[in-house]
Structure 1
Amino acid sequence: MITSTTSVVDYEKAKLDFDLLLECFREVLHNFGEKKLAEHLSWKDGTLALNRLPNVGRGVQAYSIVFQLLNMAEENSAAQLRRHLETQEGTASLSGLWGDALIHLRKIGLTETRIAEELSDIFVEPVLTAHPTEAKRRTVLEQHRELYLLLVKLENQMWTPAEREDIRKEMKVVLERLWRTGEILFEKPSVAAERQNVIHYLYNIFPSVLPMLDKRLVQAWTSAGFDAGILDDPRNFPRLCFGSWVGGDRDGHPFVTPEVTRQTLIEMRQYALRLVHHHLFQLASRLSLSERFQSPTPAMIQRIEQLTEMTGEKGDTAAEKNPKEPWRQFLNLMIAALPPEPDEHESYDETAPPGIYTHQGELLSDLELLRDALLAIGADNIAKTEVSPVYRIVQTFGFYLGKLDIRQNSRFHDLALSQLMTAAGLNGGDFPDWSEEKRIAFLNSELLSPRPFTHPDMTVGSEAATLLRCYRTLGDHLKRYGQDGIGSLIVSMTRNVSDLLVIYLFAREVGLMTTYEGKDACMVPVVPLFETIDDLKKSPEILRGFLDHPLTIRSTAYQQEKNGRKKPLQQVMVGYSDSNKDGGIGASLWNLYRAEEQLLETGRKRGVDILFFHGRGGSISRGAGPTHRFIRAQPHGSLEAGLRVTEQGETIAQKYANRISATYNLELFMAGVAEARLAHRESRKSPLEVEQIIDFLAEESNRAYRELIDTEGLLDFFHQATPIDIIESSRIGSRPSRRSGKQSLDDLRAIPWVFSWNQARFAISGWYGFGTALKKLRDTRPDAFDIIRGKDFSWAPLRYIASNVATSVATVDPEIMQEYALLVEQPEPRQRILDTITAEYLRTKQFLDLLYDGSLEETFFNVFRFIRVRQDGLSALHRLQIDLLKRWRDHKKSGKEKEAEAMLPELLLTVNAIASGLRSTG
């Protein structure tokens, strides 16, 4: 369940909005002759009275739409409640936003000047990914956006009754389109389609949200009693950037080819230049200041002359426009100096046109000069209102829109290097099985040698060929356009130092090295991704070895100089999904915390800032949770370099599809990082007794979880008691659900693992093991149990783990679990495993009640209400899915493939509808 956008909901308001939407939908159904189905959809005593499906195929689609309408009504009510609270109680009334953050910082003794000095060093970078967790088609999502905007439109009190009725009719038109549109994907989306979806947010949504974010900071700043003039300069605002994995994430994804990566980089640059051009053009249309009434500064006049000369005929044409209006002429020349949009068919070997901006920094300098010229004539308001927003657009999106990361699995790298060694006449066939000592010795020796492994005409294995072509694509793009649009080279499943050093060999092979202090340095950052519990425990040692390597020292120094940083920076990615699948939620979250602490210390001893990149998914089992609580639960000092965080699948639409929600969710990140970073700087980290207690809880919860996972028959139980086979047959993402196609738990990605358990209402990855850990703590160390129940329960990391577990427990339905378990063919393992899971569920609920000193239903009233409202409809869908699964599997066993294939659309519809009801997939 996505919790970040629904934590504060006005349920009475949500009911009114939902009544309107549901009534419109029922009218649409009546018009289609679906009177029985329309009458069946009702809202009674605050819950959806849906307990049977009168018409299977269309009934499931109706349920899915109804759940989506309810989600929409709750989202709007939450947005309107936030607005109401701020109006009535001020900007500090909402937890986690700028008003709350600034008041807290002021209370702990930070002055206005101190906060202002630090603001521009705040850095947040959401990274959009296309992991297969978005079950809705893009065309369906677009209609949801349109419907939501109409709902928001009705909030305006200016409309007459007739105008309100017109808006209502527009809603019905959208709902009719939605009803006529198929909900499920019959073909997997292409990477190009996923890329277009990401570009939609980067081009259409986030640029329009950015000025709203800045205005909210200014409003909170003045409400806190601070001088608003400090924020007149756009350079004083926190930095927000964006990244993407779509077209660059190659981990087990055969369709992300070097050509796809090239096309992605080109397309992102095309849209970025269109975005910048649009905003400069709009600014030029508004800055119609005449030199008859004010004079430009000498610096601006000189720059106009320079740009006119540099841009040739285009510059002459631009300078001739708008005579006597030098500010507008200056902007015309900036537009003329923009790089041309790249042609997807052009060769990287072609020479870029001369006399243009090669880097966004050059354009930013001219915008600063323009702003200074306006300030010089007293046009402060124009500078602040018109120029500053454009400066922020260029600063945030540059000429690249978002940074593209390249990710690949360490095993793939091993195979690629083995093939390169073989092609070069070296004995590399068994390189993947070498000891770490032997690997390091070989890599160090090779990195000292200038010779490449291959020459252009040489034939190498498939992994090596693919990898080298990808890196050459990066190198070609970097040489032509610079490296601003290229993010990092991420090594998933990093398990040794050699997994990182091997990337330097590939970089050397294709020209991604540069000379720094007379020796090689890698131009693109190499980033470890630590995913499993074991890898997280080893991560400090791995990072030490990597940071101490001479080539890493030179590379981070080069990148520091290139980016104008005060200290060297090393990015480290930590994965929530695989650590959770590997060890359960308690062990996952706490081992992530402990690893971050030690990684920070490793960097601190070497004078290197550590920028953590959090690989969070859309469900609690994969790292989701309220954003401000997530940030407050981070280790002391871990946000010093900023924050990178993935936004995956369904979370992108749920958090950012609408500008109001997008502004709110981005503000939570920006304000949260600023508050935590500054607060950490004001206090020292001191060891707490509660930390050792959570060490115990993490170890015991891991032991209990692993006992279940390693239980004989568990894998068969999972495959039969959940709809994993249907989810693997779905077309909801371009990437396969398994890394290499093996039918093993290790090979299965965390997303379908979580998705399947959630669909069957077990949700074990979000809570299992924590109850046993709490019980053992109380039984063996009652004093420690009392400590975490008492004052230390307010400690943010503990509170975050416990609240995430409690929220997951709320989504469990023991009755539905039992019905899914009946799908398991063998009675003995079925009952044994079900009894084990049920006992742990009851135990976890019991001890969470003790921990919170009250029932979870009362403590997490909103979460349980969220489920209760949807329960009847979900139960009907679960039972239908179970029935269809039985019949579908029977057909498959009997070899009736045609009959099984015919059933698949209905089954996929149930998956979609249940995901809509729970507001979560994987």
Structure 2
Amino acid sequence: MIHDQRAEKFRQIVENKFQIYNSLFMSLPYDKMTNIGMLLPFLYEESKNGYEAGKTPEEIVEDFFKSHTDLQSEEQKTELLFKIIQYIERQVVLFDSIEDAAFPSLHSESDSGTVTNLFERSLQDHKLEKVREKLKDFTVKVVFTAHPTQFYPSSVQRIIQDLRTAITTDSVTNIDTLLQQLGKTPFVNKQKPTPIDEALSIISYLRYVYYDTIGELFTKIRKTFGSDHFHLHQDIIQLGFWPGGDRDGNPFVTADVTKRVSEELRSAILKSYYSHLKFIRRRLSFRGVSEVLQQLNDELYGAIFNNEQITTEDILKKANEAEKILVEHHNSLFLELLLNFRDRVKIFGTHFATLDIRQDSRIHQQVINEVYAKVYGAEEASNEAKFKRLIEVSDKVNADDFEGIVKDTLLTVSQITGIQQSNGLRGMNRYIISNSDAVKDVMNVYAFFKVCGYKDEEIDMDIVPLFETMEGLANAENVMNELYQNPIYKKHLAKRGNQQTIMLGFSDGTKDGGYLKANWEIYKAKETLTKLSEESGIKVVFFDGRGGPPARGGGKTHDFYASQGNTIANNKIELTIQGQTITSIFGNKEQAKYNFEQLLTAGVENDVFKNSKKDLTGKERKLIIELADISYKKYSDLKAHPMFVPYLREMSTLEYYGKTNIGSRPSKRGGDSELRFEDLRAIPFVGSWSQLKQNVPGFFGFGFAMEEMKKQGRFEEVRDLYKGSDFFKTLVLNSMMSMNKSYFPLTYYIKSNPKFGAFWNVLFEEYNLSKDIMLELTGFKMLQEEDPLSRKSVKIREKIVLPLLSIQQYALMKIQKREGNKEAYEKLVTRSLFGNINASRNSA
């Protein structure tokens, strides 16, 4: 019933509004674009009917030119296609803005997964004290990464924000003007953004979205659960930050960049306090109070503009002083305003978000090798002997004695203390190691601190291994067991409160092992590491490297975390968000607040409201293992197919990701021109499948595994698993979401390609098999039947971008045939990437 009401509301305030405002587009006086709005529906109809009739994208676009234009030259035709791409990009922005503006109307304060709902549920079930107990030490941390899955220039982002406001008030005049501005504003970065650009782009979200959102949510939790009864700790919701600190595969992130970004974060939070204080001082104009707040104002000004030192304690001291006078002499008038300000200072300190450092273990080994050679000459030694001896070095190594990455790594480690002094210990407190699969990967980082002159007790950093390949995940238990026993590391952990953060990579895991296998291996690794850590007296925190789409660990995040059983440590929910996930899920105050609440309550529910569907029985576990192994074999065979990498290279947009100027990081590891599977980054890998509308990493092998069970007469077991396990159910629904965004008719033409036809058929058969068997399993009539809002959103977005996909495929076909102006067609492919990337924002 509620689903039906919401679906009807969506139709009224999203679909209908889009049709009305879209009609404004058609009459806008864009530069040479006046008739694009009239032509576009024809290209959509040609595409829709053409694909159903088995036509190729080339035939569809040529038919469109013939039937609806009188263009003759190739140059005129490509110019028109560019104009259509620009037009569609702006349609996507309009739809995004309308959907965002509708968010508060489609969700209520008492929805499942909100703080209000959690409170009501805890009262009903007499679990209020248990919830309060859990809230005392449970935390949620969202870590912003600069991974390029969407990158509007900041000028376009500002228009989007204004457009959303205008749509909320249905101000047609404002909307009309903003659409005109949108039409004339470039959507493309002329150059790749630098890591500093990426950092500043996300810092603007911190200032204008998260400062208020998290502050207000903290106040809401405090008031809902009653701060008289329990102490709500300041770290309940934390922000992490990778732009400027994540140097994995990004040669443009240097020690200088990290230092500069830490300064920008500090400056941004102090500016937020300064403007917040200005508002408070308008109300707290009382004798004694106003003088104290004036002093604080001046201290903040000095810290922002004259780089004077100020600590969180300094700010809190003044706020407490003001509170004392307010309570004792002014009847606590406007006290809540001051308490809100103080909450924010406790939450954000002088750091705003914690800046992490991340680098690949293979680079670390290279640094260790060179430092060892410098200190001990050409002496041969094993990797283990190297870190052991370097940890014992008493003389500090001089970074200037080295060059390149070695020098920069040592400079980065050397400046950590300085950053911690200005931003506080919460400003920088961990070093993450990608591609961890051995003890040396963690101990090498410990050795860096020692050779940079740190004493053991001065290393105020968590060292965090990131296990992301099937091999790394399988080896995680041995690595952590050995580390927990290592006397030096054991001592370090004791100093860190016997808490160990372990990061697990969903993106690269899925790329490596396929959807079901990756998710199961991560689940299993979490269980094993939970048990091991508990036995070793260590509190373990899992940090999930997740992307937006299910193929990169995204999808229904609340459902995923709420489905973790009691065999997995639940001390904290920590995950990465990036690109379109930032804008679509945490992009404005209403959405951000709602989604932070969803994460927080998922973790609390897991402990407080026990549910047999969260814990896997031995029988269920055995069946998942069977399914995972069958699907892994199927996916591995696909990866080993001789056409796998050539298909991506020649038939998809993979090669064009590096030309889009949407991220500062190269799109593949390794500098050589030959393309190898292991060098592929997860984002372009998953993104290229998405552009082909095939979404292979989100489902391949899953349906095949279930079909095998059916052949053995065991499908009823799978059905029981789906009904009995929240974890398995979430995986199925997320996989169906991936399939719902697939559209194989777009590439029907490949089935008769002499080189790739057979390979395409393998993909198509698995898609049909997976779709059919999952519908049978769930009893649904259509994919995403259980989520009508997301399904409707996907449907409209797919309709908007279908002409864009036709143009992209048309251009790819021209390039493959070596026909016409190659440079123009390559530009068409690259430009059409943007609209497609941005349109698939509801992938999480």
What TM-score, normalized by structure 1, do the two folds share?
A: 0.82
Indicate how the Cα distance of structure 1 residues 9 and 542 shifts in structure 2: closer, same or farther if over 3 A, else same: farther
Return the alpha-carbon distance in structure 2 between the equivalents of residues 397 and 101 of structure 1: 25
Indicate how the Cα distance of structure 1 residues 43 and 20 shifts in structure 2: closer, same or farther if over 3 A, else same: farther
Return the alpha-carbon distance in structure 2 between the equivalents of residues 685 and 838 of structure 1: 35
Indicate how the Cα distance of structure 1 residues 872 and 236 shifts in structure 2: closer, same or farther if over 3 A, else same: closer
**2:61 alignment partner in structure 1:** none
Matched-pair contact (CA < 8 Å) for 1:656–1:662: yes
- Offset at 1:370? 4.3
Return the alpha-carbon distance in structure 2 between the equivalents of residues 479 and 237 of structure 1: 20
Residue 696 in structure 1 maps to residue 626 in structure 2: yes
Indicate how the Cα distance of structure 1 residues 494 and 236 shifts in structure 2: closer, same or farther if over 3 A, else same: closer
**1:98 alignment partner in structure 2:** 115
**2:760 alignment partner in structure 1:** 834
- Offset at 1:774? 0.6
- Offset at 1:33? 6.3
What amino acid does structure 2 have at the position aligned with 1:810? N
- Offset at 1:696? 1.3
Residue-pair matches, total? 810
What amino acid does structure 2 have at the position aligned with 1:400? H
Indicate how the Cα distance of structure 1 residues 456 and 14 shifts in structure 2: closer, same or farther if over 3 A, else same: closer
Indicate how the Cα distance of structure 1 residues 795 and 9 shifts in structure 2: closer, same or farther if over 3 A, else same: farther
**1:313 alignment partner in structure 2:** none
SS in 2 for 1:120: helix
**2:597 alignment partner in structure 1:** 667
**1:252 alignment partner in structure 2:** 249
**1:551 alignment partner in structure 2:** 488
Q: Deviations over 1:239-260 (max 9, x none)?
A: 2121110000000101001111
Matched-pair contact (CA < 8 Å) for 1:37–1:59: yes
Residue 262 in structure 1 maps to residue 259 in structure 2: yes
Counterpart of 2:341 (choices 390, 409, 420) is 390
Return the alpha-carbon distance in structure 2 between the equivalents of residues 754 and 72 of structure 1: 26
- Offset at 1:685? 6.0
Counterpart of 2:368 (choices 394, 414, 417) is 417
Return the alpha-carbon distance in structure 1 between the equivalents of residues 701 and 527 of structure 2: 24
Matched-pair contact (CA < 8 Å) for 2:350–2:422: no
What amino acid does structure 2 have at the position aligned with 1:414? Q
Q: Deviations over 1:554-601 (max 9, x none)?
A: 2222233xxxxxxx2111111111000001111111111111111111
Indicate how the Cα distance of structure 1 residues 117 and 283 shifts in structure 2: closer, same or farther if over 3 A, else same: farther
What amino acid does structure 1 have at the position aligned with 2:291? Q
Counterpart of 1:506 (choices 416, 441, 448) is 448
**1:14 alignment partner in structure 2:** 14
- Offset at 1:394? 0.6
Indicate how the Cα distance of structure 1 residues 66 and 819 shifts in structure 2: closer, same or farther if over 3 A, else same: farther
Counterpart of 1:918 (choices 829, 840, 843) is 840
Counterpart of 1:604 (choices 494, 511, 534) is 534
Counterpart of 1:173 (choices 173, 177, 181) is 177
User: Within 5 A, what are the aligned runs for 1:317-356?
Assistant: 325-338=287-300, 340-341=302-303
Counterpart of 1:183 (choices 187, 194, 203) is 187
Return the alpha-carbon distance in structure 2 between the equivalents of residues 847 and 684 of structure 1: 24
- Offset at 1:147? 0.6
Q: Deviations over 1:648-686 (max 9, x none)?
A: 112111223322222222222223223324346999967
Indicate how the Cα distance of structure 1 residues 190 and 689 shifts in structure 2: closer, same or farther if over 3 A, else same: same
Matched-pair contact (CA < 8 Å) for 1:820–1:882: no
Indicate how the Cα distance of structure 1 residues 683 and 144 shifts in structure 2: closer, same or farther if over 3 A, else same: closer
Return the alpha-carbon distance in structure 2 between the equivalents of residues 259 and 592 of structure 1: 35
Indicate how the Cα distance of structure 1 residues 779 and 686 shifts in structure 2: closer, same or farther if over 3 A, else same: closer
Matched-pair contact (CA < 8 Å) for 1:639–1:673: no
**1:793 alignment partner in structure 2:** 723
Return the alpha-carbon distance in structure 2 between the equivalents of residues 735 and 448 of structure 1: 36
Residue 909 in structure 1 maps to residue 831 in structure 2: yes
Return the alpha-carbon distance in structure 2 between the equivalents of residues 604 and 585 of structure 1: 29
- Offset at 1:43? 12
Residue 206 in structure 1 maps to residue 210 in structure 2: yes
Gaps of 5+ in 2: 1-5, 51-63, 70-79
Residue 523 in structure 1 maps to residue 460 in structure 2: yes
Matched-pair contact (CA < 8 Å) for 1:207–1:393: yes
User: Within 5 A, what are the aligned runs for 1:389-468?
Assistant: 389-427=340-378, 438-452=382-396, 454-455=397-398, 459-468=401-410
Residue 759 in structure 1 maps to residue 691 in structure 2: yes
What amino acid does structure 1 have at the position aligned with 2:416? L
- Offset at 1:530? 0.7
Q: Deviations over 1:87-110 (max 9, x none)?
A: xxxx43x12211332334345441
SS in 1 for 2:28: helix
- Offset at 1:638? 4.2
Matched-pair contact (CA < 8 Å) for 2:247–2:357: yes
**1:534 alignment partner in structure 2:** 471
Indicate how the Cα distance of structure 1 residues 241 and 703 shifts in structure 2: closer, same or farther if over 3 A, else same: same
**1:142 alignment partner in structure 2:** 158
Residue 887 in structure 1 maps to residue 793 in structure 2: no
User: Within 5 A, what are the aligned runs for 1:437-836?
Assistant: 438-452=382-396, 454-455=397-398, 459-479=401-421, 482-515=424-457, 522-560=459-497, 568-636=498-566, 638=568, 640-679=570-609, 687-742=617-672, 743-780=675-712, 782=714, 785-790=715-720, 793-819=723-749, 827=754, 829-836=755-762
Q: Deviations over 1:737-795 (max 9, x none)?
A: 1121342110110110001010001110110000111112223361xx32331375242
Indicate how the Cα distance of structure 1 residues 43 and 278 shifts in structure 2: closer, same or farther if over 3 A, else same: farther
Moved more, 505-514 or 858-867: 858-867
Indicate how the Cα distance of structure 1 residues 402 and 832 shifts in structure 2: closer, same or farther if over 3 A, else same: same
What amino acid does structure 1 have at the position aligned with 2:263? I
- Offset at 1:424? 1.8
What amino acid does structure 2 have at the position aligned with 1:423? K
**1:28 alignment partner in structure 2:** 28
Indicate how the Cα distance of structure 1 residues 234 and 390 shifts in structure 2: closer, same or farther if over 3 A, else same: farther
Counterpart of 1:274 (choices 247, 271, 276) is 271
- Offset at 1:698? 1.2
Matched-pair contact (CA < 8 Å) for 2:651–2:812: no
SS in 1 for 2:376: coil
Matched-pair contact (CA < 8 Å) for 2:222–2:232: no
SS in 2 for 1:489: strand
Return the alpha-carbon distance in structure 2 between the equivalents of residues 81 and 283 of structure 1: 33
- Offset at 1:263? 0.7
